[in-house]
């Protein structure tokens, strides 16, 4: 965790001191390895404490706060690296400037000219993530006819609440779309967290009360069946 923070701090220095850029780029090569190791350890601890039962508590609020900071450092460092990489590209020739100016205008105005699409919405509730993910991927993410900058606009339009907060630090730029999508996957695409949420939902179903009709019974059974099916699809033994 400290290494991830150090890499990010080096990136901040590189933004104002060009002599630090080579050092930051060298350190950046190890960032993905450190972050993957941290997430793996965190998830393993979650699994261990789930098996141990209520006698132990993990993650505590302090653990969640540390994880949130680590993620912020990770995404900020990635953004810094992409920004520095873009800055190292040679300036365009005069013959290209007119076209690039037009492209910049189009990007700035893209939010006003986006085609109307009935986007799925995601508020950060993990039980809603699989359906949102699958819908957004099929409608937007895998559509090669949609420019990357538009995909990023659509992504931001489809997020609210804590889900939006996950990527709010990323500027609207082509290079940041993949980082934004990865941030969402890292936060919500966690099989063990999903399995725990589905299991809790199943265990917390309240029995039907009062006059039970065929319609209420069918609705009750469908909800349980959906949760059980979703749990099985995760493939966790």
pLDDT of residue 141: 92
> Domain locations in the chain?
1-89, 101-189, 200-233
pLDDT in tens, 136-163: 999 899 998 889 988 998 898 898 888 8
For the chain, residues with pLDDT lower than 70 are: 52-56, 86-117, 198-199, 201-212, 215-237
148-158 and 129-136 helices, crossing angle to 10°: 150
pLDDT digits (tens, 9 = 90+) for 55-69: 667 788 888 889 888
- How many C-beta atoms lie closer than 10 Å to residue 28's C-beta? 19
CB distance 193 to 126 below 8 Å? yes
Cα–Cα nearest to 178, from 141, 233, 218? 141
The closest alpha carbon to 83, from 10, 171, 186, 184, belongs to 171
Residue 65 has a CB neighbour count (10 Å cut-off) of 11
Instruction: Look at residue 6 in the predicted model and tell me its pLDDT.
Output: 92
Could you give the CA distance from residue 63 to residue 57 in angstroms, rounded to a whole number? 10
């Amino acid at each position: 965790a400290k290494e991830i923070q150090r890499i990010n701090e080096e990136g901040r220095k590189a933004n104002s001191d060009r002599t630090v850029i080579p050092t930051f780029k060298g350190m950046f090569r190890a960032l993905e390895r450190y972050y993957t190791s941290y997430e793996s350890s965190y998830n393993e601890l979650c699994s261990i404490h789930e098996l141990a039962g209520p006698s132990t508590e993990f993650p505590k609020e302090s653990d969640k706060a540390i994880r949130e900071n680590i993620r912020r450092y990770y995404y900020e460092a990635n953004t810094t690296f992409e920004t520095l990489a873009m800055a190292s590209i040679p300036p365009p020739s005069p013959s290209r400037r007119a076209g690039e100016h037009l492209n910049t205008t189009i990007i700035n105005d893209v939010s006003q000219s986006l085609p109307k699409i009935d986007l799925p919405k995601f508020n950060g509730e993990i039980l809603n993530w699989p359906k949102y993910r699958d819908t957004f991927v099929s409608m937007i993410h895998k559509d090669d006819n949609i420019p990357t900058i538009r995909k990023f606009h659509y992504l931001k339009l489809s997020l609210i609440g804590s889900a939006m907060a996950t990527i709010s630090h990323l500027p609207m730029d082509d290079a940041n779309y993949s980082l934004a999508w990865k941030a969402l996957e890292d936060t919500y695409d966690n099989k063990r967290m999903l399995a725990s949420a589905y299991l809790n939902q199943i265990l917390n179903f309240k029995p039907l009360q009062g006059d039970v009709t065929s319609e209420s019974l069918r609705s009750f059974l469908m909800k349980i069946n959906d949760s059980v099916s979703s749990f099985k699809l995760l493939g966790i033994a």
